[in-house]
Structure 1
Amino acid sequence: MISRFVAFLLLLYALGFAWFSIWLPQPLDLRTTDAIVVLTGGAGRIDRGLTLLRDGAAKKMLISGVDRSVRPHELAVRYKAPDTLFDCCVTLGREAIDTRSNGIETAHWLEKRGYDTVRLITSDWHMRRAAFELRQALPEDIVLVYDAVPTRPSLAMLFKEYNKYLLRRVAALVGI
């Protein structure tokens, strides 16, 4: 009886990993939101956010998890964006050090500005856990839409992220 239960749990785990790996979140259309939140740590994320900001998909953008030594002008040069875009519309969030604190930093930033809708930009393999962390930190009335940056993650990367996602879900269930 116990071996069947363990086999069942292993089957659920394997099916969950298959779902997690095969159906990665996708980029979003150009619908507008009040704000864009970009989580640092992966190629294409900031580019995607700046492009959407320039195209009018949102009024403001938070880049969460920026190193304290980075200056707005440095990012403007690196991403070939005008300094005026960073001056008016981009906030560099410097408090977050991991995905969980990205959620907290984002919640505080949105609350100060009174925004109701936000577009989350991160890598496709990272989106589910990042969205979960944001949902944990945000009030229920904030609309969160997902805009994943396509990548080519390795099987090892997907396996690691799937386990982090599961562990975080379990931790949230027990109140951690």
Structure 2
Amino acid sequence: MKKWLKQLAVLIVLFWSWHAVWLYFNLDVGETPVLSDVIIVPEGGDGREDQAGRLLHDGYSLSDRIIVSPLYGENINLLPHYQNAGVREDQIIAENEATSTYTNAVKTLNLMEENGWSSALVVTSDYHTRRTRMIYERVNRHYDFNLTYISAYVYTNEGEVITYLDTPGLRSAGRREIYKYYGYLFGLYHFLDLD
């Protein structure tokens, strides 16, 4: 019996290790943008505000609005970044209470309901799309909105796309994302404020 349990434990560790490596190379599950009522950006950085600005200017937001969660917070003021991306302050709906991807989903989907919207583009960093999609879909069970997940990339001065696999800083963010993904997979966001 003990031998069987050891073999099972080894198989579980091997599978989990394989899955973590596979996951690292497959964090980006972004989709093609579609016309939607609003654009949602969970937090900012890593090209999110630029991608949201491009989508807004290309007419993908029927309301001509972006929900940024959070726009302001402790040591956070993302408004200048959005303004640099060509987004006017009156086009932004600021949600300033969220402290994690989970609370981003809860707060922004509630704002969609309050505004009578039924569809959104959810814009986040390429390495963050898989976990964002997982948690938004869990929270969306209460609403049944049409959500499309858009990957934001960093661009070089020459306009080349830089993915999380292309640079050490973003690769590091991708590795950290693996732990957060498993934490979210097992529902630890209910107990810990995993960002």
* Interval containing the TM-score (normalised by the shorter chain): 0.7 to 0.9
* Cα-to-partner distance string for 1:4-27 (whole Å, 9 max, x where unaligned): 111111122122112212223255
Aligned to 2:35: 32
Distance 1:13 1:156 in 2: 20
Closer, same or farther in 2 for the Cα pair 1:75/1:157, shift >3 Å?
closer
Task: State which of 163, 168, 173 in structure 1 corresponds to 2:184.
Answer: 168
* Structure 1: segments with no counterpart, 5+ residues: none
* Cα-to-partner distance string for 1:26-66 (whole Å, 9 max, x where unaligned): 55334211111112242210110011011111122101122
Task: State which of 34, 55, 58 in structure 1 corresponds to 2:58.
Answer: 55
What aligned pairs does 1:8-157 form with structure 2 within 5 A after superposition? 8-58=11-61, 59=63, 60-68=65-73, 70=77, 72=79, 74-75=80-81, 77-79=83-85, 81=86, 83=88, 86-87=89-90, 89-138=91-140, 139-150=142-153, 151-152=163-164, 154=168, 155-157=171-173
Q: CA deviation at 1:140?
A: 4.8
The alignment covers a number of residue pairs equal to: 169
Letter in 2 for 1:36: I
Q: Which moved more, 1:163-172 or 1:109-118?
A: 163-172
Check the 8 A contact 1:122/1:147 in 2, yes or no.
Answer: yes
| Percent pairwise identity | 22
Question: Which secondary structure does the structure 1 equivalent of 2:8 belong to?
Answer: helix
RMSD: 2.4
Letter in 2 for 1:63: V
* Structure 2: segments with no counterpart, 5+ residues: 154-162
Check the 8 A contact 1:31/1:57 in 2, yes or no.
Answer: yes
Check the 8 A contact 1:118/1:143 in 2, yes or no.
Answer: yes
Closer, same or farther in 2 for the Cα pair 1:82/1:162, shift >3 Å?
closer
Q: Which moved more, 1:51-60 or 1:148-157?
A: 148-157
Question: Which secondary structure does the structure 1 equivalent of 2:187 belong to?
Answer: helix
